[in-house]
Amino acid sequence: MSGNRYRVCVAGLGSMGMGAARSCIAAGLATYGLDVNPAACASLREAGAEASGDDAAAFAGELDGVLLLVVNAAQCRAVLFEPGGLAARLRPGTGVMVSATISAADSREIAVRLEAMGLLMLDAPVSGGAAKAAAGEMTVMAAGSRAAFDRLRPVLDAVAGKVYEVGAEIGLGATVKIVHQLLAGVHIAAGAEAMALAARAGIPLDTMYEVVTHAAGNSWMFENRMKQVVEGDYTPHSAVDIFVKDLRLVTETALALNFPLPLASTAYGMFANASNAGHGRESDAAVIRTFAGIKLPGDDGA
């Protein structure tokens, strides 16, 4: 029976990738991990992975599917196409689900290279954060051929609560995710601005947080990220530098379409400023820490 199990490798075992890989294990898939972080690989092996490490040579030829949850297009290319990379070791017909947040142009370019090797690509960015990933309930915005969807269906069933099939054309999934990230980044930036104003006015931030999360101004991002501000905890489940990258993709997409995005452009500037001030590796909620003249929980004993 074990020989008939669907075999999937999750490349990128960060907060999202680790949750997705564990969801694949929970769904009964023969799951492998690929990451340069030995602690993450060891953690996945302990969770029941068949194997996990920084080299897929031993198992790549047995795989039915690959899920890429790395940070950016450069990492996608490195995992797939650098010497010793995954793509050349995969059997023709293997499904490759590219779930990093990348541009539509990068998605199309990667698809062309994979298709030339006989591989099936799904342009399939994800959302939902580490908690949804761990629960197998991510939202997936996917584009690709029917054959790619069919080949990767066991992976989609394992990791997603909702799969939106946005079309056959590679790049559509990436574009839907970029539009989504416009909202996500603006919501975090707006939440940070509101809480900074409350701090300047002397409103206790836990009170402000309670009011907003029970009123019409709330958003998922406010509720999730501003809780970190109230607690003074900037542990990076999603870092400032991720939104510097994602909002750059948003603004570049708009520039290519000659379309103005005043709010997204401002939010990009706020995140870039936070990164420049040394907060790039902190939680994206740390965008609030660039406002001058306020005291925040966790700062100097506040």
Distance of CA 195 to the CA centre of its chain: 25
Q: Which token pair is 128?
A: 């939902």
Backbone angles phi, psi at 68, to 5 degrees: -95, 115
Q: Catalytic positions, please?
A: 177
Contact 184/125 with Cβ under 8 angstroms? no
**Contact assessment for residue 274 and residue 286, using Cβ atoms and an 8 Å cutoff:** yes
* Exposure string over 54-76, b if 16+ CB within 10 A, otherwise e: eebeebbebbbbbbbbbbbbebb
Measured between alpha carbons, how far is 103 from 107 in angstroms, rounded to an integer? 6
Residues 6+ apart with CB under 8 A from 198: 205, 208
How large is the angle between the packed helices 220-231 and 205-213, nearest 10 degrees?
160
